[in-house]
Amino acid sequence: MFNHKLIAHITGTLLLIMTAAMLVPLAVSVATRDGAQYAIALSAVVMLLPALFLRNLWGRKASYTMGHRESFWVTSIIWLVVPLLGSVPFMLSGVLPRFADALFESISGFTTTGSSVIADLSEVPPSILVWRSMTQWIGGLGLILFVIAILKKLTAGSVQLYEAEFSGTMQRKLHPHIAKSVSLMWRIYLLLTVLQFVAMLVCGNGMLESLCLSLSTVSTGGFTTTAGGMAGYSQATLGVVTFFMFLSGVNIALVYHLITGKGRMLWRSEEFHIYVLIYLVAVLGSTAALTTAGNSWQSSLGYSLFHVASTASTCGFYLPNPVHWSVWVSAFTFALIVIGAMSGSTGGGIKIKRIMILTRYVHHYFLRMLHPNAVFTVKVDGETVKVDYINKVFAFVFLYIALIVVGGFLLTLGGLNIPNAVCMAAANISNLGPSPLLNNIGASVDYVALSLSGKCTLMVLMLAGRLEIFAILALLFPIYWKKS
Amino acid sequence: MKPILRILGLLLAVEGALMLLCGLVGLAMHDRTSLTMLPPALFTAAVGLLLCMLFNKNRAIADKRMAYLGVVLFWIALAAFGMLPFLTSHSLGTVADAAFESMSGFASAGATVFQTVAALPPSILLWRSLSQWVGGFGIILLVLAIVPTLGINKYSLYTAEASGADNTGKLTTSMADTIRQTLSVYLCLTLLFIVLLWVDGLTLWQAVNTTFTHISSGGFSIFDDGIASLSHSQQLILLAAMLLSGVNFAFLYHLFTLKFKMLRNKLDQISFYLLLNAAAIVFTSLALHYRMDYGWGDAWRCGAVQSVSVVTTTGTQIADTRLWWPPVTFLFLLLSLCGGMAGSTSGGLKAMRVLILLRNVRNALRNRLHPNAVNPVRLNKKPVSQELITNVMVIFFIYLFTLAVAIFVFLLCGVDATEGIGAAVGCLSGYGPGLGNCGGFGSYAHLAPLVKWVCTTLMLLGRLECLAVYMLLFPAFWRR
């Protein structure tokens, strides 16, 4: 029996929280008198009505039993409905009057991508900027984690939901009880946000900017508040942002251990070693490349530290290009966004853990060809990875690459040239945002000029990347529609 | 090492003989530069015979690892000696160019550094065509005959190659029969198409060269404008030739001898291959008509011939594809990476591997809903072993990794991004022409020597399906 009532109930509950979240931009709007208060209030009402309908009418008396099919459905529905309603403020406030644009901005927000179709950020009311950054913050840990943290009654289903959203990256849970573990994650997330907010204020930034940038950084989102990315900020601010971007790319469970004084857990994680190694190599490499291209080494280093942290965590903030560009940096950037952040972080990409499993397995494969009778096992952090799981990793990475290629193809239909199309597809499926054009990283201009079909393609890619593909693709299979 | 050198000697002796043949044909056509063909021919043959005599008594393979070395060595040696005629005849000035052209021949890729071929002496033209014809068949021969005698586990190196992954695809149990039958299919097809083209109005010289390069899915041309200037019926004959060159040769043998029962174990692959062709033809033709103002007739003809040329990784050009709508050229990149059927002369990943990759993904999705269901990937209704799935996955990722590294190297060498992507895909898949100036009726001539060497390596990697070459890079390989 397909438990549609539960799905309605969960969706409604989440929408109710979203309505409550709308109060923040509303307060900002009233405080700054930016004129968007009616639009935001109306948006809140638009969100409240379906919330009440779904939660209290359709989803009344829902039983809390959940199978695999329901968990996929609820994940997919939530990720469609929430961005859909989240786009209403953009439309009603007149910032993005066209539906497709508003939806694009909203999906880009909730998936923490950070691709923007707003042509001129300086004309956007502060309250809308806050809402924009809030969508990223809400989406950062995943919408499902919201649900799990709130619906305490959903005990058995929680694990499946968790799996549905994070397609089994083999997380060691923080606490045997999933809801407890999820609420710990939320607290860490909140703590990081507050810490960055304070640090930004200390560096002398305004309240609004500090709030928006903190929300966009810890979620590895990448929405900025001014045109031109991070161009106008002080060195100290950039340092703070760099630090928190780097931290956001780390598995949030490990951050918890770090904060609670169990730093050993962090140093013991092989994935973290690789993450740090990638960061250092990329920084050194791109500094060297930019210096030899003719920039001063100080500016090269500064640029590289920021840029690599932004790309490795798939955050997507960008600085103005150095005077002399180097192709090496383009190459690094592309590699970094496809590899992505650590598993269990807010970042996107294939994830370092999967890449580790993949490369180790391929290495073993060669050794096995030389020694057919020897037994090899792939280990991560000392634990043997099962063959079944390796197969899933292979399938995932194959799909990931296939989607980049197919997405790239669809983008060329809209008139982009092939390298640009592939870069843009990769940047969006990895939830980075600004696409690393070959000599020009960043700029929202690319997205504003995109054709409608191009925008639709990118929306699907962003969602697919955020949901680690399987949850979205599963719905295309008849088997998920059949009655059991 | 010694048994490998003996086989190498044999190969070189044959190669020398073929060079001599080209020289003689050239002389018969009153071409004086053909004389420059003689020194390399004699030198190659001499080296070959010397190796044969020295290592005549070494037939058993002592060390399996040496076998991997041998596979790579054969191709490098063939290309290395094969480039001598280009140098001695002064058709190409640098070693990088000559090695590129020669490897492109023996890997039956079809990428060329000649900006114009009209002025080339006949002996050189024939040598180019012949090298593709030999290379196309060589890869089948290698897998059918040489690899097994070297004692390499077929499963780990060329799973999806000529004899088929399930081992039932062998023509007969006897290896000698197998080779004879495959060779006969290849020879019959070659003869058939030479005659067809000849009857249809080409000169014998043109018919021979064109058949050689198309039946081997190579793609060199003796005309500057690909096959654009041939008549429509000739182009359609070539379409048939290319389509057949992408089909498994065992399949063709059973088809021609009417043993339909034997066809069953390839049905999935052939339908996928044909589907790929059909889809490509429809998309390309529609795009040509609606986006580029081709009339319906021209659109279907050009679309069909070019699509088949891409899927079979032949690389022959019916029009200057540089000017075609970019999405079409992007689709060509993807299709050439898929390639034709295993056990044919085409390159790319092969239809069977792509099928297994896709079905594995479908399975992974299904398993999420029913995590405990046993649900193997099937091919031709038979479960595919985990071993084979892994093999396919590994080859896929190595392929992709190679592609990525190559594109980065191209970018760092200052090659334009579009051109770099095109060149990497073109050379690795064996399609040949790339994008931008390297594509269409263009050539690779303008690229820097380093880039050309990378391209040459890519063609080698693509032809040998990467694994054997990468094996040599492992320290464990060289350790005692």
Q: Do B361 and A398 touch (CB under 8 A)?
A: yes
Which chain B residues are Cβ-neighbours of A470 within 8 angstroms?
Answer: 364-365, 368
Distance between CA B338 and CA B212 in Å, rounded? Answer: 23
Domain boundaries, chain A: 362-480
Taking a C-beta distance cutoff of 8 angstroms, is the pair B134, B108 a contact? no
Which chain B residues are Cβ-neighbours of A474 within 8 angstroms?
Answer: 365, 368-369
Which chain A residues are Cβ-neighbours of B367 within 8 angstroms?
Answer: 392
Instruction: Report pLDDT for A480.
Output: 66
Asked whether residue B48 carries a pLDDT value surpassing 60, the answer given is: yes
CATH class of A362-480: mainly alpha
Contacts for A431 with CB less than 8 Å, ≥ 6 apart: A111, A112, A113, A114, A220, A314, A316, A347, A348, A349, A462, A465, A466
Question: What's the one-letter identity of residue B250?
Answer: A
Mutate: best of A366, A378, A406, partner B, most B CBs <10 A: A366
Mutate: best of B365, B388, B411, partner A, most A CBs <10 A: B365
Query: Which candidate, B107, B99, B322, B318, places its Cα nearest to that of B217?
Result: B107
Instruction: Report pLDDT for B423.
Output: 95
Residue A128: CB atoms within 10 A of its CB come to 25
Q: Do B366 and A72 touch (CB under 8 A)?
A: no
Q: One digit per residue, pLDDT tens: chain A, 484 residues?
A: 678 888 898 899 889 989 999 999 999 999 998 888 999 999 999 999 999 998 888 888 777 777 777 777 888 888 889 999 999 999 999 999 999 999 999 999 999 998 888 888 888 999 999 999 999 999 988 887 777 777 766 666 666 666 666 554 545 667 777 777 888 888 899 999 999 999 999 999 999 999 999 999 999 988 988 877 788 899 999 999 999 999 999 988 888 888 888 878 788 889 999 999 999 999 999 999 999 999 999 999 999 999 999 999 999 888 888 888 888 888 888 899 899 999 888 888 999 999 999 999 998 888 887 777 788 888 888 888 888 888 888 888 999 999 999 999 999 998 888 888 898 999 999 998 887 655 554 444 578 888 899 999 999 999 999 887 777 777 677 666 665 5
- Average pLDDT score, chain B: 86
Q: What is the mean pLDDT of residues B135-140?
A: 82
Distance between CA B363 and CA B367 in Å, rounded? Answer: 6
Q: Do A366 and B334 touch (CB under 8 A)?
A: no
Q: What is the mean pLDDT of residues B82-110?
A: 93
Joined together, the tokens standing for residue B169 give 């695809």
Q: How far is A472 from chain B (nearest CA, A)?
A: 10
Cβ under 8 Å to A: B residues 357-386: 357, 360-371, 386
List the single residue in A with minimal CA-CA distance to B387.
Answer: A365
In terms of pLDDT, which residue wins out, B197 or B440?
A: B197
Instruction: Report pLDDT for B165.
Output: 35
Sign of CA dihedral A390, A392, A393, A397: positive
In terms of pLDDT, which residue wins out, B444 or B7?
A: B444
Q: How far is B394 from chain A (nearest CA, A)?
A: 6
Query: Which candidate, A459, A452, A396, places its Cα nearest to that of A104?
Result: A459
- Condensed to tens digits (0 to 9), the pLDDT of residues B189-207 reads 999 999 999 999 999 999 9
Instruction: Report pLDDT for B164.
Output: 36
Instruction: Report pLDDT for B168.
Output: 38
List the single residue in A with minimal CA-CA distance to B157.
Answer: A369
Residue B213: CB atoms within 10 A of its CB come to 30
- Condensed to tens digits (0 to 9), the pLDDT of residues B140-156 reads 777 666 666 555 544 44
Cβ under 8 Å to B: A residues 432-451: 438
- Condensed to tens digits (0 to 9), the pLDDT of residues B345-358 reads 888 898 889 999 99
Instruction: Report pLDDT for A63.
Output: 78
Q: What is the mean pLDDT of residues B460-480?
A: 85
- Condensed to tens digits (0 to 9), the pLDDT of residues B223-244 reads 988 899 999 999 999 999 999 9
- Condensed to tens digits (0 to 9), the pLDDT of residues A136-170 reads 999 988 887 777 777 766 666 666 666 666 554 54
Instruction: Report pLDDT for A339.
Output: 92
pTM: 0.91
Which chain A residues are Cβ-neighbours of B391 within 8 angstroms?
Answer: 365
List the single residue in B with minimal CA-CA distance to A405.
Answer: B334
DSSP lists the bridge partners of residue A436 as A441
Instruction: Report pLDDT for A443.
Output: 43
Q: How far is B299 from chain A (nearest CA, A)?
A: 19
Q: Do B470 and A474 touch (CB under 8 A)?
A: no
